[in-house]
Amino acid sequence: MALTMIPPLVRPPLETMAAVTSTARQKALSLNLDQRAYGTLAEIGAGQEVARWFFQAGGAAGTVAKSISAYDMAVSDALYGPAERYVSRQRLGAMLEHEFTQLVNGLGRLRGDTTNFFAFADTVAIRSYRHPENGRGWVGIRFQTRPREQASEIIIHVHLLDSSSTRQQEALGVLGVNLIYGASAHHREVPTLIGSLMGELSRERIEVDMIKLSGPAFGEVDHRLVSLQLVEQRLTDAAMFTAAGEVVQPSEVLHKRPVLVERGSFRPAARLTVDLLEHAREQFMLEPEVRGEQPVVLAEITRAIWSSPAALTIRTSWPGQISCAPWASTLSSPASSRITSWPNTWPPIRIRRSGSPWACPACERSPTRNTTPICLAASSSRSAVYSSVA
């Protein structure tokens, strides 16, 4: 009798399955069958809605090492340490740290060479009889993209906008599956990862107003540009970050604080801009409700200003050479030269005077003699204009 050898089933990587994996059930099933990602799901505040998708899809033993809901505050504190607020970024961080460390310590020796470990966690407050307002919470995942790799992390803050607690729970479950799947399949393409969070959801149901990526899966990402993707893809109406570039969730900064906002294009932020803000602050501090408090000072800029340009234009009124990459270009008076590269920094690099001669603060290089100093003058169109300054 002739025997026919049947080749083993080779399952395509998640990246190639993304196009046909559109629903939460399909995503959960593909993760269960892939058997490379293996981890813990810890959920507080809205049931175990994320874990439910993996169990109902079938084959959950391939993905779920443990699911847990530490609802009792004493139990939660015993596991993750005490917290001033249970729905907070700090509590989420403690959950991810505890669950991921426990998972790796317990299973790393047995299957660490073949497994990408992950820990998913959420801590949320949903609509209830006593609290009829919209739900909100923190959701995150700590994960490996390769066995034994240092962990990467995605943290988001979400508002749940459905009118019933049941619908809010359902939305949170779908969002959690989207996040776990996105971390596995889309971590190489950050815009795709962010867009995938809204699979089977809409802005009428959910808003994501903060995201922070960290770890080797994302390299040296600019967190400001990542946050602006939330606005670009309409997951939220506004993103906030500090002057140092740290991503913040608005309520963390604005809660019970007086706020002074200056709107503008800041093309560039000139001395007049600063003077206006300082005088406005002096007047603001005289208000009876503000006296004795330190206001939060914000600069607001619209999405049209920071949209990536199709091309950049450098204008100069005299001959000069810009030697600092990525703008290496010889300019001739009085014509303008056009370049199509867009630096992966925001705000864009400004050349400023630092002693003598002119020096670039980004690379600390001193441009060559006769170099034209430039500063940003961003337009509201799809292009940005760099104007020469003396």
Residues 6+ apart with CB under 8 A from 178: 24, 27, 196, 197, 198, 199, 200, 201
Residue 4 lies in a domain: no
Q: Where are the beta strands (DSSP E) in the chain?
A: 37-44, 64-68, 116-125, 135-143, 152-160, 206-214, 240-241, 247-248, 259-263, 296-300, 312-315, 320-322, 329-331, 337-339, 352-353, 358-359, 374-378, 384-388
Looking at the structure, tell me whether residues 177 and 274 fall in a common domain: no
Whichever domain contains 178, its CATH number is: 3.90.950.20
Give the pLDDT of residue 19. 45
Q: Give me the domain span that covers residue 38.
A: 14-251
Q: Examine the fold and report which residue of 301, 330, 364 is the final residue of a domain before the chain moves on.
A: 301
The residue from 240, 270, 301 where one domain ends is: 301
Residue 350 has pLDDT above 80, yes or no: no
**Is 285 in the same domain as 361?**
no
Which one has a higher pLDDT value, 37 or 261? 37
The total of structural domains in the chain comes to 3
Mean local confidence (pLDDT), 311-327: 33
Same domain, 273 and 247: no
pLDDT at 298: 85
Q: Both 201 and 161 in a single domain?
A: yes
* Residue 69 resides in a domain: yes
User: Same domain for 281 and 372?
Assistant: no
Q: Are residues 279 and 361 in the same domain?
A: no
Please check the confidence at residue 325 and state whether its pLDDT lies above 80: no
- Say if pTM beats, i.e. exceeds, 0.85: no
Q: What is the mean pLDDT of the chain?
A: 76
Q: What is the pLDDT of residue 305?
A: 56
Whether residues 35 and 79 share a domain: the answer is: yes
Q: Are strands 206-214 and 352-353 parallel, antiparallel or unpaired?
A: unpaired
Pair (157, 74) in one structural domain: yes
- The answer to the question of residue 307 being in a domain is no
Chain segment 177-197, per-residue pLDDT in tens: 999 999 999 999 999 999 999
In a domain, 3, yes or no: no
* Three-state DSSP state, 279: helix
Q: Do residues 34 and 135 share a domain?
A: yes
**Whether 243 and 264 share a structural domain:** no
DSSP-assigned states of every residue in 146-194:
STTPPPEEEEEEEEE--SSHHHHHHHHHHHHHHHHHHHHHSTT-HHHHH
Question: Among the ranges 208-212, 245-249, 336-340, which has the highest mean pLDDT value?
Answer: 208-212
Contact 339, 327 (CB under 8 A): yes
Q: State mean pLDDT over 286-314.
A: 68
Q: 105 and 35 share a domain? A: yes
pLDDT digits (tens, 9 = 90+) for 228-248: 899 889 999 888 888 777 888
Mean pLDDT lowest among 102-111, 159-168, 261-270, 369-378: 369-378
267 within a domain of the structure (yes/no): yes
Same-domain check for residues 50 and 168:
yes
